């Protein structure tokens, strides 16, 4: 399995995800600007922002501990690892057996813990506030996420992402009501986990409402660049997890160079559609009050559980 | 599994989803829309079962469902809440996340209850019996946790939807005469409830059921 072509595929995918993630961010922002009748910024704007931030000198608070400096690298590393495990372009990658879906959720949780700790480390009131809100959302989103993933895992009989994708992509056509429920629940979790609109506004700096922005308020220059980049990779990874479960068609197998162009084209098309859809959702929805977030996420959990129950009912 | 039975399963799942959505809904107007959509899902699944099994009387009951539960009753309810001027406020006895958790418990209970029955059944729709039972119980729960009269009545109507679906999934529907009778009952019930609403409001200045527990004026 770990032949040279497979390793080449792994490297290709990892590099591609890191390089393409800001592009996805730019595309979402552009779509949103169009929908809101603003003149859109360039798709490449996130790259310029990253380049600008990387050239600046970092300013760090006097009381910051090493944890504060370390966190951006941990975040970036976690997200990159996650992007290496998810079958983005191909299944059967050498990295894939390293972690199943439960461990993947764990990787995301690790990143969350570090960012919350770093936010509290500085000792500003905004940092603590952001960290608390983030943990509130995180602890509600995680069970919902796991329930969603379990539904797909029950259908394919494995918690390995690659196996799930293989079974779902190569089955004969069948309607799974349980997967429809899981898809809706996953979408809700995606919005919550990536600090998108019904839960958090990614563009706001209004202290009453910000969650994610409040946590990274003290970061500057290369640290901020790494965090922004990690956020982009996280969105990319979540979207590709969604594709892997609910629209797995077109994915290649590791080492199969002939299938690569098709897989790339399918990935691009799916990402373009999903990005536009995300922008549309964010334009249509209004941000919820923070205290309605538990209701939103408990609905996601409910949908996940219902999906699983219906799977047992219909197949059993 | 055939395509038809998969589609019926999908529609059943929608029915359950709508039942949960009604449970979590705060606005009466949306509640009525959801009730109409539940009627659509019910009619579509009845029509599918009729089409695949060749039971002609099920076509009639599907048409009846569309006519009554998708068009007439929602229209009457619309008129009612317009007249009563209650569009938004739905007050619940328990907060909504807790209600949903109780709802999940009820759904699991209903599924477990229906599992042995569906194993013995041989109909196309046997796996949906649990869902039908769950939506009946969820409507029951909705009637219990809501304070105001209008949502309670919508809960009652939704319960009838669930029962109807249970009949279709367990035995391919009741005889046409029975179905016609039930439909008429529901229709007349809605009208009577409508008249009652006005009387309740005239008497107590509010639509909260709690006021009716007091038997004498103090």
The 3 state secondary structure assigned to chain A is CCCHHHHHHHHHHHHHHHHHHHHHHHHHHHHHHHHCCCCCCCCCHHHHHHHHHHHCCCCCCCCCCHHHHHHHHHHHHHHHHHHHHCCCCEECCCCHHHCCHHHHHHHHHHHHHHHHHHHHHCCCHHHHHHHHHHHHHHHHHHHHHHHHHHHHHHHHCCCCHHHHHHHHHCCCCCCCHHHHHHHHHHHHHHHHHCCCCCCCCCCCCCCCCCCHHHHCCCCCHHHHHHHHHHHHHHHHHHHHHHHHHHCCCCCEECCCHHHHHHHHHHHHHHHHHHHHHHHHHHHHCCCCCHHHHHHHHHHHHHHHHHHHHHHHHHHC
Banded pLDDT at B40 (limits 50, 70, 90) = very high
pLDDT at residue B36 in the model:
92
Interface contact B115-A316, CB threshold 8 A: yes
How do residues A129-176 score in pLDDT, each as one tens digit? Answer: 888 888 988 888 999 999 988 888 888 888 888 788 877 777 666 677
pLDDT at residue A166 in the model:
78
How do residues A22-51 score in pLDDT, each as one tens digit? Answer: 999 899 889 989 888 888 888 888 899 899
Smallest CA–CA distance from A184 into chain B, residue: B17
Q: What angle do CA B33, B38, B44 make, to 5 degrees?
A: 125
pLDDT at residue B137 in the model:
93
Q: What stretches in chain A show pLDDT beneath 50?
A: none
Give A-chain residues touching B6 at CB under 8 angstroms: 174-175
Give B-chain residues touching A147 at CB under 8 angstroms: none
How do residues B120-170 score in pLDDT, each as one tens digit? Answer: 766 666 678 888 889 999 999 988 888 777 888 888 889 888 888 888 877
Compute the mean pLDDT over every residue in chain B, rounded to the nearest whole number: 82
In the predicted model, is pLDDT for residue B89 greater than 90? Answer: no
Banded pLDDT at B64 (limits 50, 70, 90) = confident
Q: Does B101 touch chain A (CB under 8 A)?
A: yes
Interface contact A313-B96, CB threshold 8 A: no
Of A180, A305, A316, the CB nearest to B13: A180
Give B-chain residues touching A314 at CB under 8 angstroms: 9, 127
Interface contact A309-B111, CB threshold 8 A: yes
Tell me the backbone φ, ψ of residue B5, rounded to 5 degrees.
-70, -30
pTM of the model: 0.83
- A12: closest CA of chain B, how far (Å): 39
How do residues B156-205 score in pLDDT, each as one tens digit? Answer: 889 888 888 888 877 777 777 887 888 888 888 888 887 887 777 777 77
- Share above pLDDT 90 across residues of chain B, in percent, rounded to a whole number: 7
Domain count, chain A: 1
List the domain range (segments joined by +) for residue A78.
Answer: 4-315
ipTM value, please give it. Answer: 0.73
Q: Are B103 and B23 in contact (CB under 8 A)?
A: yes
Of A294, A299, A309, the CB nearest to B24: A299
Give A-chain residues touching B45 at CB under 8 angstroms: none
Banded pLDDT at B10 (limits 50, 70, 90) = confident
pLDDT at residue B217 in the model:
62
Banded pLDDT at B21 (limits 50, 70, 90) = confident
Of A174, A294, A309, the CB nearest to B108: A309
């Amino acid at each position: 399995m770990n032949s040279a072509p497979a390793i080449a595929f792994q490297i290709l995918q990892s590099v591609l995800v890191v390089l393409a993630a800001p592009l996805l961010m730019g595309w979402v922002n552009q779509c949103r600007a169009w929908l809101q009748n603003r003149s859109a910024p360039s798709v490449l704007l996130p790259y310029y922002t990253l380049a600008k931030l990387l050239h600046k000198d970092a300013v760090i608070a006097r009381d910051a501990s090493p944890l504060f400096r370390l966190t951006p690298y941990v975040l970036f590393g976690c997200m990159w690892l996650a992007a290496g495990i998810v079958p983005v372009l191909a299944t059967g990658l050498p990295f894939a057996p390293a972690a199943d879906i439960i461990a993947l959720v764990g990787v995301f949780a690790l990143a969350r813990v570090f960012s919350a700790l770093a936010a509290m480390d500085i000792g500003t009131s905004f940092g603590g506030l952001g960290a608390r809100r983030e943990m509130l959302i995180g602890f509600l989103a995680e069970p919902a996420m796991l329930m969603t993933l379990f539904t797909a895992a029950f259908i394919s009989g494995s918690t390995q992402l690659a196996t799930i994708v293989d079974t779902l992509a190569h089955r004969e056509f069948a309607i799974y009501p349980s997967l429809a429920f899981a898809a809706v629940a996953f979408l809700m979790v995606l919005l919550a986990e990536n600090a998108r609109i019904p839960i958090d506004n990614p563009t706001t700096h209004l202290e009453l409402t910000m969650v994610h922005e409040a946590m990274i308020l003290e970061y500057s220059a290369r640290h901020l660049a790494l965090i922004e980049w990690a956020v982009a990779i996280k969105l990319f990874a979540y979207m590709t997890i969604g594709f892997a479960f609910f629209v797995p068609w077109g994915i290649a197998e590791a080492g199969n160079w002939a299938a690569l162009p098709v897989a790339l084209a399918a990935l691009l098309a799916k990402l373009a559609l999903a990005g536009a859809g995300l922008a549309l959702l964010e334009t249509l929805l209004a941000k919820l009050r923070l205290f309605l977030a538990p209701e939103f996420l408990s609905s996601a959990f409910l949908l996940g559980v219902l999906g699983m129950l219906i799977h047992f009912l219909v197949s059993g | 599994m055939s395509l038809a039975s998969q589609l019926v399963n999908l529609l059943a799942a929608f029915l359950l989803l709508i039942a949960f959505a009604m449970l979590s809904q705060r606005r009466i107007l949306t509640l009525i829309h959801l009730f109409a959509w539940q009627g659509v899902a019910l009619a579509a699944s009845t029509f599918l079962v009729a089409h695949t099994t060749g039971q002609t009387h099920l076509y009639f009951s599907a048409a009846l469902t569309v006519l009554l539960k998708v068009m007439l009753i929602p229209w009457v309810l619309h008129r009612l809440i317009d007249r009563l001027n209650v569009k938004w406020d739905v007050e619940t006895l328990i907060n909504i996340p807790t209600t949903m958790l109780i709802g999940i418990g009820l759904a699991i209970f209903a599924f477990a209850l229906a599992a042995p029955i569906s194993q013995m059944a041989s109909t196309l729709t046997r796996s949906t019996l649990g869902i039908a039972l769950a939506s009946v119980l969820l409507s029951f729960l909705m009637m219990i946790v809501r304070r105001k009269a209008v949502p309670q009545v919508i809960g009652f109507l939704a319960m009838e939807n669930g029962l109807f679906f249970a009949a279709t999934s367990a035995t391919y529907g009741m005889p046409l005469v029975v179905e016609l009778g039930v439909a008429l009952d529901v229709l007349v019930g809605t009208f009577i409830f409508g008249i009652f609403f006005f009387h309740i409001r005239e008497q107590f200045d509010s639509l909260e059921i709690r006021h009716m527990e007091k038997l004498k004026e103090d």
